[in-house]
Structure 1
Amino acid sequence: MASTPSTTLATPAYCNWNLEDASFPEQFAWGASTSAYQIEGGWDADGKGPSIWDTFAHQAGERVFENQTGDVTCSSYTLWEEDLKCIKQLGLTHYRFSLSWSRLLPDGTTGFVNQKGVDYYNTVIDSLLANKVTPMVTLYHFDLPQCLEDRGGWRSGATVEAFDAYAHFCFRTFGDRVKLWLTINEPYVIAELGYETGIMAPGIKEPGTGAYLSAHNMIKAHAAAWHTYDEVFRKQQGGLVSIALNSDWAEPFHPNSPADQEAAKRHIGFCLDWFATPIFMNGDYPVVMKSKISAMSKKQGYPSSRLPEFTPEEKMTIKGTADFFALNYYTTRKIKHQDYACGQPSSTGDKEAEQVTDPSWPVATGSSWLAVVPWGLRHLLKYIKDTYNHPIIYITENGFSQSDPAPLDDSRRWEYFRLTLQEILKAIYIDDVRVAGYFVWSLLDNFEWTCGYSSRFGLFHVDFENAALPRVPYTSAIEYTKVIANNRLMNLHG
């Protein structure tokens, strides 16, 4: 991982390449992303079973901003035609959405199939294709069926089997038309916030073990689903399957400090590489994770490492189970080495790396954690290219939020998108990164997890106070439409 400051990456120089003249590659995927729980509503409509987010948001307490829920949100379950109008207005070539596992299989198993859920997703897929929009479908975006969580959720090996059966069902049901699949969205977030700190659904707090165990099973579930597609469906359907991994970029707080340089490497190791190393490389966890967690576990009196081990057979099954690299990028952090005093076990303590936001970086108004650092994406893309054998990369999420109420003229936000797209062009033309597509998060303002409706990422504004839930384009949507139509950035300098 690079430990030099951001300004030193651009080699070779721009001698024979002009940013203003550059187009994006032919057949570049221009997209926007959503997820089922965040936009669909209809939380108990037409036979849908409860998910962990239904349960989490309905529980008393201040788990979510102002106790808001996704019960209705954008009501895309009944207003899909309005979403389709937004997609067509933008001129998207691709649309990424997720399937609600419990809308299709109410108890999480194939014992009972909810046909109305199948009909809904058939309508979405067929209408996208009728309008020459390619669907990219995520099987699992945070909303585990509550029935499966009641039996252990991602901490249970039984969920690996249930996910594989669910994936098989989806490939069989929709794979004749869907050619781009993502198994799990952001397993890092699910593990850390769902099973370590309990900030997000299902709200489990098991510091030092919960994240590692749930991640272990998610990696195995992903690999099982990939093999199911590869062995049963690929020859006939001809699609591609991957997993959506999120990561910050990490810069050493003191660029010349060896301790901070190593801490920055650990930050990437305990986030992106945690999942990418086993899936894209060797079937096993990064060496830095194995050594740090083992040493810390020993100091804390554990008989063995808190990080589970893959068997030799599992390693062989896991390695190479991705057909492209799907990356969600939002921000960059400066990283300091931080000694941990071996108190209560935690994944944060194992990492021994403190995250710091540079005060000179602007922060998105709707998300205090989201420092806007477009050049960090270029660094991360180059890191993925160099580390993971030059894969084809889709940027499956990137976005900047506004606080509510959000002005329709979000010119400041569009400037951040524009700068980000410039960095992608540099990655393609200077760093030789094979970026195949870019998806904005999100198509619509929606239920932003624990932030509820206070954080607005949409290209389209949604008036949640109006029962009709009208969708109105922000300035960023209008500008994004121009970029898509021309396959290049327009008016680079204003």
Structure 2
Amino acid sequence: MTVEYKFPEGFWWGTATSGPQSEGAADIDGRKMSIWDYWYKEEPERFFDNVGPQDTSTFYANYKEDIKLLKETGHNSFRTSIQWSRLIPDGVGEVNQKAVDFYNNVIDELIVNDVLPIMNLFHFDMPMCMQEKGGWESREVVDAYAAFAKKCFELFGDRVKHWMTFNEPIVPVEGGYLYNFHYPKVKDGKRAAQVAFHTMLANAKSIKEYKELGQDGQIGIVLNLTPSYPRSTENEADVKAAHIADLFFNRSFLDSSVLGEVPAELVELLKEHDVLPVYEEGDVELIKNNTVQYLGVNYYQPRRIKQKESEYTEDVFMPDMFFDNYEMPGRKMNPYRGWEIYEKGIYDICTNIRENYNNIPFYISENGMGVEGEEKYINENGVVEDDYRIEFIKDHLRWLHKGIEEGANCTGYHLWTFIDCWSWTNAYKNRYGLIALDLETQKRTIKKSGRWFKEVADNNGF
């Protein structure tokens, strides 16, 4: 195999998942409800085909077999998350020993198989008992999260050297407090701002805990970056609208976690509309002094923006007051997910981080293609021939390679995801895995892309 695109020595090849989307075993061995379990119980019809979080891909029972499959598909690294509702079922206080045993076993099994464990602490899965105290609106919950994080570092930090505080922290803000696609389904700009600020605070507090323990690893955050492109770079109003979208959806968490401050323009906007969050003395200083050491970047799609043309009729503060989304003619689409495929976006992210964020080390922590009805691509040997996924990965890796060649400090590429997994209200509608999961039998079968991915990892390029 001639390798045209060679990646840096020690590059991370792997995938990402999360505890709530892969473990299953939702109500055994002491785990208590998260907001997803509760919401499913209340409104199962909000979930595709009424499939809830108890039906995730049984990693809890099958982690040994799954880690062997990681090896078979070329992984040298893997990100998952520790479920707060499993480890400390009441949110605070007593640690669940069965959870400690499980996470110890997973970490040890990964290490034995030469797969680097990257552990994330929060992946949308607020324990229901903490949500009842106000979730991220509550300082008590912020402190409880910092205590949970510290406990994780103490229990597992001797072997886990790469930590993530949050996955996509903007998403619970958007989904839970603005656009009604996550629980608690609130639509309130001021409460959304409070949730965002307290999440930044929780991030800083957990980093402070990590530093104080003096462990010899690194701590970062995973952000979903969606580059905002104006409809026309010639049109000042379009450019300004795209800039504002960028402030809300990218720079809110990117600037605060890497540079230690919320963009002044965003603060002004929130102030002007009377939705500034409440904060206490010392909070700003804490965020400033506890920034991340590296970044995970999830990239799926760009954001296309034009100046506000439709009348804004909502009576609540929303980002949409300042811009309209724009459908670019001729754009390439993933029809199943309704998302634009724009490979160059990954390169633009590399350039932005290099030029504006001190070229902080980062890795692509998620990138992937969700496809509905993959069974129609199964060949006579029972293997999904997902050439479309291979092309998707190649096209993104070419642009990532260019970004690295130009000096971006990118250390790896992870796909979403290893095995077809449960995805929030979408459940199993779109399949993302390198490995197909039969929901009836839980049988795992490596797809064509999984075999190809191993070749890429073995050759450190393609």
Smaller-chain TM-score bracket: over 0.9
Residue of structure 2 equivalent to 1:482: 455
Deviations 1:50-81 (A, max 9, x none): 11111112223532112210212211110112
Counterpart secondary structure, 2:362: strand
1:241-252 alignment to 2 at 5 Å? 241-252=219-230
8 Å contact kept, 2:245–2:319:
no
Name the Cα RMSD after superposition.
1.7
Q: Which has the larger displacement, 319-328 or 439-448?
A: 319-328
8 Å contact kept, 1:247–1:272:
yes
Counterpart pick for 2:190 among 195, 209, 220: 209
1:114-125 alignment to 2 at 5 Å? 114-125=96-107
Distance in 1 of aligned mates of 2:448 and 2:458? 16
Residue of structure 1 equivalent to 2:325: 355
1:133-144 alignment to 2 at 5 Å? 133-144=115-126
- How far 1:293 moved relative to its partner? 2.6
Counterpart secondary structure, 2:45: coil
8 Å contact kept, 2:5–2:398:
no
Residue of structure 2 equivalent to 1:229: 210
Counterpart secondary structure, 1:238: coil
Distance in 1 of aligned mates of 2:426 and 2:373? 11
Distance in 2 of aligned mates of 1:397 and 1:21? 23
Distance in 1 of aligned mates of 2:69 and 2:333? 27
In the alignment, residue 345 of structure 1 is paired with which amino acid? V
Deviations 1:186-242 (A, max 9, x none): 110011102223311x2331321232111111110010000000012x3xx301011
In the alignment, residue 438 of structure 2 is paired with which amino acid? D
Residue of structure 1 equivalent to 2:149: 167
TM-score (norm 2): 0.94
Distance in 1 of aligned mates of 2:142 and 2:160? 23
Distance in 2 of aligned mates of 1:53 and 1:222? 22
- How far 1:343 moved relative to its partner? 4.4
- How far 1:310 moved relative to its partner? 4.8
8 Å contact kept, 2:350–2:404:
no
In the alignment, residue 187 of structure 2 is paired with which amino acid? E
**Structure 2: gaps of 5 or more residues:** 378-383
- The answer to whether structure 1 residue 449 and structure 2 residue 424 are counterparts is yes
8 Å contact kept, 1:366–1:456:
no
8 Å contact kept, 2:194–2:278:
no
Residue of structure 1 equivalent to 2:349: 380
In the alignment, residue 166 of structure 2 is paired with which amino acid? I
Residue of structure 1 equivalent to 2:393: 417
Deviations 1:100-148 (A, max 9, x none): 1111111111x22111111111110001001111100001111111110
Residue of structure 2 equivalent to 1:336: 306
Distance in 2 of aligned mates of 1:353 and 1:332? 15
8 Å contact kept, 2:7–2:461:
yes
Counterpart secondary structure, 1:278: helix
Distance in 2 of aligned mates of 1:206 and 1:341? 15
Counterpart secondary structure, 2:229: strand
Q: Which has the larger displacement, 417-426 or 62-71?
A: 62-71
Distance in 1 of aligned mates of 2:245 and 2:58? 38
Distance in 1 of aligned mates of 2:324 and 2:349? 19
Residue of structure 1 equivalent to 2:232: 254
8 Å contact kept, 2:80–2:118:
yes
Deviations 1:255-293 (A, max 9, x none): 311111121222221111101212222x33212322223
Distance in 1 of aligned mates of 2:347 and 2:359? 14
Distance in 2 of aligned mates of 1:22 and 1:66? 41
Distance in 2 of aligned mates of 1:346 and 1:61? 29
8 Å contact kept, 1:43–1:70:
yes
8 Å contact kept, 1:192–1:211:
yes
Counterpart pick for 1:397 among 332, 354, 366: 366
Deviations 1:148-200 (A, max 9, x none): 01111111111110001000100000000000000111110011102223311
TM-score (norm 1): 0.88
Residue of structure 2 equivalent to 1:10: none
Residue of structure 1 equivalent to 2:176: 194
- How far 1:386 moved relative to its partner? 1.3
8 Å contact kept, 1:197–1:207:
no
Residue of structure 2 equivalent to 1:126: 108
Counterpart secondary structure, 1:420: helix
Distance in 2 of aligned mates of 1:273 and 1:156? 23
Counterpart secondary structure, 2:369: coil
- The answer to whether structure 1 residue 459 and structure 2 residue 434 are counterparts is yes
Distance in 1 of aligned mates of 2:158 and 2:420? 31
- The answer to whether structure 1 residue 284 and structure 2 residue 254 are counterparts is no
- How far 1:25 moved relative to its partner? 0.4
Distance in 2 of aligned mates of 1:473 and 1:307? 49
Residue of structure 2 equivalent to 1:346: 317
8 Å contact kept, 2:44–2:51:
no
In the alignment, residue 425 of structure 1 is paired with which amino acid? H
- How far 1:20 moved relative to its partner? 6.1
Counterpart secondary structure, 2:55: coil
- How far 1:311 moved relative to its partner? 5.1
Q: Percent identity?
A: 33
8 Å contact kept, 2:299–2:364:
yes
Residue of structure 1 equivalent to 2:49: 66
